[in-house]
């Protein structure tokens, strides 16, 4: 909390948001009876794998929460097998392809992941996830199994593909295909779970393209952000069709002397991701349940904010670029309806427009992609401007609370510093005495 607070010291509205999130956000008061040991353990795993996303899942309505939690953990299990380069392909392939059958095997566990695998323990105790999966309604089980089957086979095909193993993702079409397997299918599965629960209309399950775009937008943003982390473990997800216009090898983008090429290449891949944004808004605009809306919208607004931060940012090649916790929390608190979310998309599209420059080879295409977000807002939510001005009072209030607290924190910092100086001063005097 303290680090997040100081990171946002020059952004008073973020300080206000951090305080509101920490102390005044009504948290769902749902306690799992301790005798339901498997369920308790599943939610512990959920908290461990992703704290902030776990909170969003826990705020889903009762009719869908457990199904999404188990879907998430099953996918995480699959991912932990795919990710682990210490498992030989002869072993990995059947594990991935049969994972959809494994989740019916009561008592199944797996302890052959490498010791450094982050979610190793999840597979070591996977029997608890299986118990909870078997406790879900058949309609939910069927959706989870269908997606696990398709994803497991897609992952196995890639794990076996010699060209992919040597050069990484090749064409832009491949890029979409890879992202479809690991993220688009998640969107398709979630839409089916939402429809099946009765909380969303049955037609949502048929929105395959829109659901796929939701996943692609998230996954492509992750892939752009994780350039360095992935490269360091020799994973290459940026498609060759994009980087080969600038360099001979993906790793050359971070070499001194290639800075301009690196920034231009970054624009090309950011543009590729940005093109999914209007479809994500169309998907979100179809949702009717409040808890499902927030669950879906939060990762999306984080993605557009991240894209805006990554655009033209050379640090992508030297470190991991992440949005401040204060900014994240501010976005989370705002994700309550489509007007707010569209406004956030429009805001970051404008940030991108401001960073864009006419020397960029993608200048025009980026302007058009951002223009499409603006156009989406005007066409689908013609009242968006009057809505956002009516929300300004709230923003000003947040800003003022944050401002007062920031000033107080700055004063405290100054005061502590002075004390420290005085103390050091005295120490020096002592020495001289």
Residues in contact with ligand IN0 by CB under 6 A are 50, 52-53, 68, 71-72, 75, 182-183, 186-187, 190, 214-215, 218-219, 295-296, 299
Q: Which residue among 140, 158, 178, 246 is the active-site one?
A: 178
Nearest of 32, 40, 108 to residue 77 by alpha carbon: 108
Give every CB contact of residue 184 below 8 A, 6+ residues apart in sequence.
211, 212, 213, 214, 215, 216, 219
Task: Tell me the closest approach of the beta carbon of residue 46 to ligand IN0, in angstroms.
Answer: 10
Q: Smaller CB distance to ligand IN0: residue 50 or 394?
A: 50
Question: How far apart, in whole angstroms, are the C-alpha atoms of residue 225 and residue 231?
Answer: 11
Question: How far apart, in whole angstroms, are the C-alpha atoms of residue 224 and residue 239?
Answer: 11
Give every CB contact of residue 32 below 8 A, 6+ residues apart in sequence.
39, 40, 43
Task: Tell me the closest approach of the beta carbon of residue 306 to ligand IN0, in angstroms.
Answer: 8
Question: How far apart, in whole angstroms, are the C-alpha atoms of residue 67 and residue 60?
Answer: 10
Q: Which residue among 235, 254, 324, 350 is the active-site one?
A: 235
Q: Smaller CB distance to ligand IN0: residue 54 or 405?
A: 54
Stated as kind and residue range, the H or E segment containing 301 is helix 290-310
Nearest of 150, 106, 109 to residue 131 by alpha carbon: 106
Q: Which residue among 110, 133, 283, 295 is the active-site one?
A: 295
User: Is 254 designated active site?
Assistant: no
User: Is 235 designated active site?
Assistant: yes
Q: Which residue among 65, 225, 236, 346 is the active-site one?
A: 225
Task: Tell me the closest approach of the beta carbon of residue 128 to ligand IN0, in angstroms.
Answer: 18
How is 181-212 classified by DSSP, letter by letter? IIIIHHHHHHHHHHHHHTSS-GGGGG-HHHHH
Residues 215 and 184 sit within 8 Å (Cβ to Cβ): yes
CA distance from start to end of the chain: 42
Query: What are the helix and strand counts (H, E) for the chain?
Result: 24, 0
In order of 124, 209, 237, 334, 352, the CA distances from 274 in angstroms are: 38, 16, 17, 21, 10
Q: Smaller CB distance to ligand IN0: residue 135 or 353?
A: 135
Name the token pair of 214.
């939701």
Task: Tell me the closest approach of the beta carbon of residue 145 to ligand IN0, in angstroms.
Answer: 15
For 245-287, give the secondary structure using H, E and C. Answer: CCCCCHHHHHCCCCHHHHHHHHHHHHHHHHCCHHHHHHHHHCC
Task: Tell me the closest approach of the beta carbon of residue 302 to ligand IN0, in angstroms.
Answer: 7
Task: Tell me the closest approach of the beta carbon of residue 184 to ligand IN0, in angstroms.
Answer: 7
User: Is 295 designated active site?
Assistant: yes
Task: Tell me the closest approach of the beta carbon of residue 94 to ligand IN0, in angstroms.
Answer: 23
- Catalytic residue numbers, as ranges: 178, 225, 235, 295
């Amino acid at each position: 909390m303290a680090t997040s607070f100081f990171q946002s010291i020059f952004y008073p509205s973020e300080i206000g948001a951090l305080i509101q999130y920490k102390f005044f956000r009504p948290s769902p008061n749902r306690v799992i009876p301790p005798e339901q040991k498997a369920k308790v353990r599943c939610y512990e795993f959920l908290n461990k794998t992703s704290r902030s996303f776990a909170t969003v899942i826990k705020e889903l309505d009762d009719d869908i929460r457990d199904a999404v939690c188990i879907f998430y953990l099953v996918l995480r299990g699959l991912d932990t097998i795919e990710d682990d380069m210490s498992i030989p392909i002869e072993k990995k392939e059947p594990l991935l392809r049969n994972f959809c059958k494994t989740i019916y095997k009561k008592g199944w566990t797996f302890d052959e992941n490498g010791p450094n695998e982050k979610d190793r323990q999840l597979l070591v105790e996977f029997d608890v996830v299986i118990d909870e999966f078997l406790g879900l309604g058949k309609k939910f089980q069927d959706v989870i199994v269908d997606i696990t089957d398709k994803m497991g086979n897609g992952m196995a095909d890639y794990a076996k593909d010699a060209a992919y193993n040597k050069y990484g993702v090749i064409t832009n079409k491949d890029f979409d295909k890879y992202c479809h397997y690991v993220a688009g299918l998640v969107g398709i599965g979630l839409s089916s779970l939402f429809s099946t629960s009765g909380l969303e209309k049955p037609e949502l399950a048929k929105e395959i393209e829109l659901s796929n775009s939701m996943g692609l937008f998230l996954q492509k943003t992750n892939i752009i952000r994780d350039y360095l982390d992935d490269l360091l473990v020799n994973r290459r997800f940026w498609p060759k069709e994009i980087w080969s216009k600038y360099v001979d090898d993906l790793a050359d983008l971070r070499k001194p002397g290639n800075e301009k090429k690196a920034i231009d290449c970054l624009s090309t891949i950011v543009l590729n991701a940005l093109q999914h944004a209007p479809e994500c808004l169309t998907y979100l605009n179809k949702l009717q349940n409040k808890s499902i809306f927030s669950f879906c919208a939060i990762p999306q607004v984080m993605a557009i904010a991240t894209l805006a931060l990554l655009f033209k940012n050379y640090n992508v090649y030297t470190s991991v670029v992440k949005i401040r916790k204060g900014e994240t929390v501010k976005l989370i608190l705002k994700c309550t309806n489509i007007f707010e979310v569209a406004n956030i998309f429009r805001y970051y599209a404008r940030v991108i427009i401001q960073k864009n420059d006419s020397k960029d080879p993608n200048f025009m295409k980026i302007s058009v992609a951002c223009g499409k977000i603006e156009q989406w807002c005007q066409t689908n939510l013609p009242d968006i401007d009057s809505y956002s001005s009516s929300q300004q009072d709230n923003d000003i209030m947040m800003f003022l609370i944050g401002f007062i607290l920031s000033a107080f924190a700055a004063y405290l910092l100054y005061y502590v510093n002075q004390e420290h100086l005085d103390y050091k001063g005295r120490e020096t005097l002592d020495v001289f005495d």
